A and B are shown apart, each in its own frame.
Chain A
Amino acid sequence: MDVFAFITDPLAYGFMQRGLVASVVVGILCAVMGTFVVLKGLAFIGDAVSHATFPGLVIAYLLGAPLYLGGAVAAVLTSLAIGVVSRRGRLRFDTSVGVLFAGTFALGVLLFSTIDGYVADLLGYLLGNVLGISAGDLLQVTALAAIVLAVVLAIRKELLFATFDPMGAAAMGLPVAFLEYLLLVLLGVTIVVSIQAVGIIMVVAMLVTPAATAQLLVIRFGRMMTLGVLLATVASVAGLYLSYYLNLASGASIVLVETVFFLVALAFGPRTSLRAWLRPQASMPSR
């Protein structure tokens, strides 16, 4: 089989075309938001919010409402609740998030167990099924991703300042608290958009891995974001082709390609390379 056919053959199928577009869109969106997730240490929050969408999805299903809507409401509410807890809570932050995380997911499982019979739609959200995405859903995913990306692009320098030095930014008059809540809401939307592709359980990997890989390789915020987007795009395409030819789960394939990128960057990156590790005296940074 020649290379050209290798690439074009899968594209003869509509589900592959839609799946490819969806996973690239989701990959780009997650890489951009993931830059903030990695730099602000929000990985655990991302995981909590994605699990909290489950009861929202189940409730929407039970009410006959659009699943997306249920997931979105749950994700945004959880994001905001976490924001409030982080600003006013008396418990350790990760403890509060952990309680919220487990409680909401348990509520989802409990409600799910009340449904008679097998609900493929809801299970699809747990592990993701990007190849099953409908044209209408794809349009929704793309539109929401475009909105989130436009907002982030418009206020990127304010987000950068508030993330790097919240005190200095607040003293200069930037609405740091508002930016923090906005970022959490955007994160909630990102997660809802992404769970269709990779599922509730693996969405955190899409958020964290490309940005973390980029952070190992570059020292500028803008380049970290760009490189993250590039890595996520390549991983989405490669993962989907792997899944097609080897008959593997699509979401897991994408995540594993991203993980391989991360391990390669870790092993050969300028600051973490194995060579530097083996020569600790010669290449120790000054600080």
Chain B
Amino acid sequence: MTDTVSASAIAPTAAPAVIEPGPTVVMRDVSAGYGGRAALTGVSLEVKPGSLLAVIGPNGAGKSTLLKVIAGLLRPSAGHVSVMGGEAGVHARRIAYLPQAEAVDWDFPVTVGEVVMMGRYGRLGILRGPGKQDRERVLEALALVGMEGAVNRQVGALSGGQRRRVFLARAIAGEPDLYLLDEPVTGVDATTQEDLMDVLEAEARAGKTVIATTHDLICAAQRFHQAAFLNGRLVAEGPANLVLDRGLLSETYGGHVLVLPGDDGGRLVLDDAHHHDDAPAGERHYHDDRH
């Protein structure tokens, strides 16, 4: 892959399946917070193209903060962030960010079709209205999430699960290279969760990078490839099934008992052989031995 085009040579409008030569996201010792209060401290993380990464951790662990830093919405107080070869925020048009459901005004007079079309705005640029191709993309994205019949409904009239489907369709419609999804499957029914994860898995297989926060540890273990465990700092990261180790969970969640079904208990025991010698105490990196 030595003759791959350099990141800077790829125009924002490049074909969606372009795979970056380097990692999609590189974070080096990043700290960030709000008004002097640190939500994240000393996080170093690398996310490769084609990753399907679950960001997990208790409330207030800094999951949303991590996404905001990568999206360029929040400037880190320390450390360095590189996204698709540039500073965070530089390649904004190639990123789709899905805010938490509470961040959106659901009384807003806007239809499902209009919401999904917003995903195209980055490509349209100022002064240009949507064309035929944009409308086709919107319908395709809605079909992918099973909401094509709701184009003309007010988004606020939908159920919680349907709203998440619509917002994921908006992300897809923008044909991004990086998905940053804040709680995409929180508060949705089981069918919706499976459907949305199928869509995200297909996007990751197509070379897109998907980073999603979730409270659903079973979903994280079963449907994501990698997991990053946050609790103010990065507690662990690696293959999802290894990171979601019971001992580590109780450490992060302060002793709350969590049961993960279907896992081989022996394999989940923390192994010092997998533990980087130079990793700070309490921080564990696992080798991804599945590929």
Determine if B118 and A173 form an interchain contact, defined as CB atoms under 8 angstroms apart: no
Determine if A172 and B109 form an interchain contact, defined as CB atoms under 8 angstroms apart: no
Per-position binary interface string of chain A over residues 167-204, scored 1 when its CB falls under 8 Å from any chain B CB and 0 otherwise: 11111111000000000000000000000000000000
CA distance A154 to B72 in the complex (A): 26
Interface of A, secondary structure class, is helix
**Surface stretch bound by B, among A42-50, A58-66, A156-164, A237-245:** A156-164
Asked whether A155 and B126 contact (CB < 8 A) given A167-B99, A168-B99, A173-B93, the answer is: yes
**Surface stretch bound by A, among B100-108, B233-241, B273-281:** B100-108
For A176, give the chain B residue with the smallest CB separation: B73
Determine if A172 and B122 form an interchain contact, defined as CB atoms under 8 angstroms apart: yes
The answer to whether the Cβ of A39 comes within 8 Å of any Cβ in the partner chain is: yes
The answer to whether the Cβ of A9 comes within 8 Å of any Cβ in the partner chain is: no
Per-position binary interface string of chain B over residues 74-106, scored 1 when its CB falls under 8 Å from any chain A CB and 0 otherwise: 000000000000000100110111110001110
**Surface stretch bound by B, among A103-111, A135-143, A212-220:** A212-220
CA distance A224 to B111 in the complex (A): 12
The answer to whether the Cβ of B18 comes within 8 Å of any Cβ in the partner chain is: no
Interface residues of B in 145-202 (CB under 8 A from A): 154, 156-157, 159-160, 170, 174, 180
Asked whether A171 and B71 contact (CB < 8 A) given A154-B126, A164-B104, A165-B104, the answer is: yes
CA distance A155 to B72 in the complex (A): 23
Asked whether A168 and B110 contact (CB < 8 A) given A39-B105, A154-B126, A286-B159, the answer is: no
Determine the chain A residues whose CB is within 8 A of the CB of B115 once the complex forms. Answer: 164
Determine if A220 and B97 form an interchain contact, defined as CB atoms under 8 angstroms apart: no
Contact of A221 among B73, B96, B109, B126 (CB under 8 A): B109
Per-position binary interface string of chain B over residues 132-149, scored 1 when its CB falls under 8 Å from any chain A CB and 0 otherwise: 000000000000000000
Determine the chain B residues whose CB is within 8 A of the CB of A221 once the complex forms. Answer: 108-110, 114
Determine the chain A residues whose CB is within 8 A of the CB of B282 once the complex forms. Answer: none
Determine if B93 and A172 form an interchain contact, defined as CB atoms under 8 angstroms apart: yes
Determine if B118 and A171 form an interchain contact, defined as CB atoms under 8 angstroms apart: no
Determine the chain B residues whose CB is within 8 A of the CB of A87 once the complex forms. Answer: none
CA distance A171 to B95 in the complex (A): 7
Determine if B126 and A220 form an interchain contact, defined as CB atoms under 8 angstroms apart: no
CA distance A84 to B47 in the complex (A): 36
CA distance A57 to B110 in the complex (A): 39
CA distance A158 to B122 in the complex (A): 9
The answer to whether the Cβ of B286 comes within 8 Å of any Cβ in the partner chain is: no
Shortest beta-carbon distance from B32 to chain A in Å: 15
Asked whether A287 and B157 contact (CB < 8 A) given A168-B98, A171-B97, A220-B111, the answer is: yes
Contact of A173 among B92, B114, B160 (CB under 8 A): B92
* Best-buried of A154, A165, A168, A286 by chain B (most CB within 10 Å): A168
Determine the chain A residues whose CB is within 8 A of the CB of B97 once the complex forms. Answer: 167-168, 171-172
CA distance A174 to B156 in the complex (A): 24
Determine if A167 and B89 form an interchain contact, defined as CB atoms under 8 angstroms apart: no
Determine the chain A residues whose CB is within 8 A of the CB of B121 once the complex forms. Answer: 157-158, 161, 169, 172, 174
The answer to whether the Cβ of A285 comes within 8 Å of any Cβ in the partner chain is: yes
CA distance A221 to B113 in the complex (A): 12
Contact of A172 among B95, B114, B154 (CB under 8 A): B95
The answer to whether the Cβ of B9 comes within 8 Å of any Cβ in the partner chain is: no
For B123, give the chain A residue with the smallest CB separation: A172
Asked whether A219 and B126 contact (CB < 8 A) given A168-B118, A171-B180, the answer is: no
Can you list 11 A-B pairs with a CB-CB distance of less than 8 A? Answer: A154-B126, A157-B124, A164-B110, A168-B97, A168-B118, A171-B71, A171-B97, A172-B121, A174-B121, A223-B109, A286-B157
A-B pairs, 4 with minimum CB distance: A173-B92, A171-B97, A219-B154, A171-B71
* Given A158-B121, A168-B99, A171-B95, 15 new contacts (CB under 8 A): A157-B118, A157-B129, A161-B118, A163-B108, A167-B97, A168-B170, A169-B118, A171-B73, A174-B121, A174-B122, A215-B109, A220-B109, A220-B110, A221-B108, A287-B159
Binding site for B on A (CB under 8 A): 39, 154-155, 157-158, 160-161, 163-165, 167-174, 215, 218-221, 223-224, 285-287
Binding site for A on B (CB under 8 A): 71-73, 89, 92-93, 95-99, 103-105, 108-111, 114-115, 118, 121-122, 124, 126-127, 129, 154, 156-157, 159-160, 170, 174, 180
